[in-house]
């Protein structure tokens, strides 16, 4: 009686070399009864016999192998591989999370609030130096993580001397402006109450960025001013001595509005100056004072120029009419 064709599952196992001895005999017997000469009679080695038989047998099995069977194997392989990849990704993310959590835990931030009529200097973790004017609020980390260095001026004025590091740019955030530097010295001023930002570059080069306007690259001897509702105003520094005067405890103003002078005095003395009339706030002055003078002395001298008067509302507020 002719041997019946073995089940496809056995043929598949035979091709894969995973069948049992009895299953192998079943396949050999079935193949011998086909119109083929037995490879065993023609080939000397058992290994060569199996190789030829598998090659020919594949031609017999291929047309009859159900598509569902092949897809199921592929599906099993796919999901097994996906599970392995997912496990690996989860493991990597877990390790990375633990590293980041541990790394973040090591970083703390300090906030410096400079007292009225005082200056304060600081050496940052990378060796960069910062000198802060009275009333400045400055935030910095105890170490610079990753490949960049970042600090923030919440309000006030500071002079930076940045250590050069081409692989780690230095960023100073002030309001919605980011200042990027590599190695340079510059003066940065941020009046939060007026939404007015300015940066004056003394050496090197910086780039200032704001979401509303195109970024500007400043070289030594130039400064940029960004006021609320206005685009960047970039121009040469008229007098570098004026830029650095506050570090000598001098208050020097060149064609500044009364409003901006008042903002500087507010930070310098910790008191607020109010204007009864908006027009008065826009008067411009070129003047010089010593920070050793009292606030009342300075306000009094400014009011004399245009015939204004002032009154002391309380210990922390003055009104100019």
Residue spans per domain, the chain: 8-64, 108-246, 249-321
Residue 49 has pLDDT above 50, yes or no: no
Task: Mean pLDDT check: name the lowest of 25-39, 48-62, 129-143, 196-210.
Answer: 48-62
Task: Give the burial string for 175-208 (b: 16+ CB within 10 Å, else e).
Answer: bebbbbbbbbbbbbbbbbeeebbbbbbbebbbeb
d(CA 113, CA 91): 43
Residue 64 has pLDDT above 50, yes or no: no
Residue 22: pLDDT band (50, 70, 90) is: confident
- CATH number of the domain at 249-321, please? 3.55.50.30
Question: Could you give phi then psi for residue 64, rounded to 5 degrees?
Answer: -100, -5
Greater pLDDT, 40 or 9 = 9
User: For residue 290, what pLDDT is reported?
Assistant: 93
Question: What is the H or E stretch that residue 195 is in?
Answer: none
Query: Long-range contact list for 141-148, CB < 8 A, 24+ apart?
Result: 141/107, 141/108, 141/109, 141/110, 142/107, 142/108, 142/109, 142/110, 143/106, 143/107, 144/168, 145/103, 145/104, 145/107
d(CA 61, CA 73): 16
Q: Contact, 257 vs 283, CB < 8 A?
A: yes
Residue 83 has pLDDT above 80, yes or no: no
Rounded to two decimals, the pTM is 0.67
Greater pLDDT, 246 or 69 = 246
Percent of the chain with pLDDT over 70: 73
* Nearest CA among 53, 19, 25 for reference residue 38: 53
d(CA 156, CA 198): 11
The average pLDDT across 143-169 equals 94
Q: Contact, 260 vs 191, CB < 8 A?
A: yes
What is the Rg, in whole angstroms, of the alpha carbon atoms belonging to the chain?
A: 40
pLDDT in tens, 87-135: 554 454 454 545 444 445 578 999 999 999 999 999 999 999 999 999 9
Task: Mean pLDDT check: name the lowest of 10-19, 21-30, 124-133, 262-271.
Answer: 10-19
The average pLDDT across 156-179 equals 95
Mean model confidence pLDDT for the chain: 82
pLDDT in tens, 266-300: 999 999 999 999 999 999 999 999 988 999 999 99
* Nearest CA among 246, 225, 253 for reference residue 135: 246
- Residue 215: CB atoms within 10 Å: 12
d(CA 302, CA 314): 20
Residue 204 has pLDDT above 60, yes or no: yes
- CATH number of the domain at 108-246, please? 2.60.120.1440
Residue 29: pLDDT band (50, 70, 90) is: confident
């Amino acid at each position: 009686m002719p041997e019946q064709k073995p089940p496809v599952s056995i043929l598949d196992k035979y091709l894969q070399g995973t069948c049992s001895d009895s299953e192998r005999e079943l396949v050999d017997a079935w193949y011998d009864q086909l119109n083929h000469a037995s490879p065993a009679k023609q080939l000397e080695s058992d290994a060569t016999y199996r190789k030829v038989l598998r090659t020919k047998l594949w031609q017999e099995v291929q047309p009859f192998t159900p598509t569902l069977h092949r897809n199921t194997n592929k599906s099993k392989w796919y999901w097994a591989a996906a599970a392995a990849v997912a496990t690996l990704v989860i493991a990597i993310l877990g390790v990375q999370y633990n590293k980041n959590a541990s790394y973040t835990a090591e970083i703390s931030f300090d906030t410096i609030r400079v007292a009225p009529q005082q200056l304060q200097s600081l050496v940052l973790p990378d060796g960069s130096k910062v000198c802060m004017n009275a009333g400045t609020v400055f935030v910095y980390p105890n170490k610079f993580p990753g490949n960049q260095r970042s600090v923030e001026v919440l309000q006030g004025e500071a002079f930076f001397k940045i250590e050069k590091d081409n692989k780690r740019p230095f960023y100073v955030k002030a309001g919605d402006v980011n200042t990027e530097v590599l190695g340079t010295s510059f003066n940065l001023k941020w009046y939060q109450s007026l939404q007015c930002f300015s940066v004056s570059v003394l050496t090197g080069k910086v780039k200032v960025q704001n979401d509303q306007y195109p970024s500007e690259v400043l070289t030594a001897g130039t400064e940029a001013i960004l006021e609320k509702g206005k685009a960047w105003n970039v121009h040469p520094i008229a007098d570098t001595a004026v830029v650095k005067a506050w570090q000598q405890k001098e208050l020097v103003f060149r064609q500044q509005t009364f409003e901006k002078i008042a903002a500087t005095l507010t930070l310098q003395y910790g008191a607020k100056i109010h204007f009864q009339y908006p027009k008065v706030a826009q008067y411009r002055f070129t003047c010089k004072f010593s920070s050793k003078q009292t606030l009342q002395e300075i306000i009094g001298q400014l009011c004399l120029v245009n015939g204004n008067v002032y009154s002391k509302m309380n210990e922390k507020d003055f009104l100019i009419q």
